[in-house]
């Protein structure tokens, strides 16, 4: 015999109330009030570049970070000096953070989307505090050990994603500045490996270096075109710096 249970309005799980005043903390606060904290945000930098690594960061922000990081925002909306100033503050006030670097050779081997997903998994796994929920910027990440939600434009929506965005962007920019010192002539410190006119011109003169992504069409095209003309290519030297 089947017993029918009549449900009343009070039988449903409590509804989470989103408060407008929360700003970038609204989504995280709602999840925490629902017992799903701590909340980790995950974001990447360098996905669209044709040179340099992909950098992925994960970050958990506790209540103590609310006032200390009140100026946090999507890293793309912040100037480089502001991002650099925020970087140590995020590290200081974050409950936990993790930064993962995926080199160009691995990107070529497994593809940028797989590298992005794998980098996000590694970043979450590297957190010193286990999150109860994960918010990712734009991409669904299967295989995480806790519930997760992809958030379109997440670095402008959730503070923990914005903090991860700053960590990833600043860390990657520093890597590209170091590569610029090691491989002068490409202008990595300026364009950070993205497809600017100056970068394309440098690729035409110098050819791809070990940090260029061979799976990118523009790099592969130049490399193939120059395969029989290596004698005419000018390799960067220290004299080209600056």
Known binding-site residues for a divalent metal cation equal: 43-44, 137
Neighbouring residues of 187: CB distance < 8 A, sequence distance ≥ 6:
180, 198, 199, 202
Q: Which residue has the tokens 């701590």?
A: 38
Residue 220 in tokens: 């592969």
The answer to whether 161 touches 155, Cβ cutoff 8 Å, is yes
- Alpha carbons within 13 A on the beta-carbon side of 186: 27
The answer to whether 102 touches 119, Cβ cutoff 8 Å, is yes
The answer to whether 98 touches 127, Cβ cutoff 8 Å, is yes
- Tell me the backbone φ, ψ of residue 98, rounded to 5 degrees: -150, 135
* Residues annotated in a binding site: 43-44, 137
């Amino acid at each position: 015999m089947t017993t029918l249970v009549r449900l009343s309005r009070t039988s449903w799980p409590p509804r989470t109330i989103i408060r407008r005043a929360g700003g970038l903390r609204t989504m995280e606060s709602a999840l925490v009030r629902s017992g799903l904290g701590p909340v980790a945000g995950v974001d990447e930098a360098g996905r669209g570049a044709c040179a340099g690594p992909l950098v992925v960061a994960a970050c958990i922000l506790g209540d103590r970070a609310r006032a200390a990081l009140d100026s946090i925002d999507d890293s793309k909306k912040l100037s480089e000096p502001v991002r650099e100033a925020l970087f140590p503050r995020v590290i200081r006030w974050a409950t936990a953070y993790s930064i993962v670097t995926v080199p160009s050779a691995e990107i070529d081997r497994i593809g940028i989307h797989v590298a992005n997903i794998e980098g996000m998994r590694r970043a979450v796994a590297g957190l010193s505090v286990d999150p109860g929920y994960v918010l990712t910027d734009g991409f669904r990440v299967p295989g995480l050990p806790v519930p997760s939600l992809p958030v379109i434009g997440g670095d402008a929506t959730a503070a923990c994603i914005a903090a991860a965005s700053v960590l990833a962007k600043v860390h990657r920019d520093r890597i590209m500045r170091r590569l610029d010192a090691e491989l002068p002539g490409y202008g990595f410190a300026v364009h950070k490996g993205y497809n600017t006119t100056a970068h394309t011109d440098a690729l035409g003169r110098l050819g791809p270096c070990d940090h260029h992504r061979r799976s990118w069409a523009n790099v592969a095209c130049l490399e193939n075109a120059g395969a029989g003309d290596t004698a005419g290519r000018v390799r960067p030297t220290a004299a080209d710096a600056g």
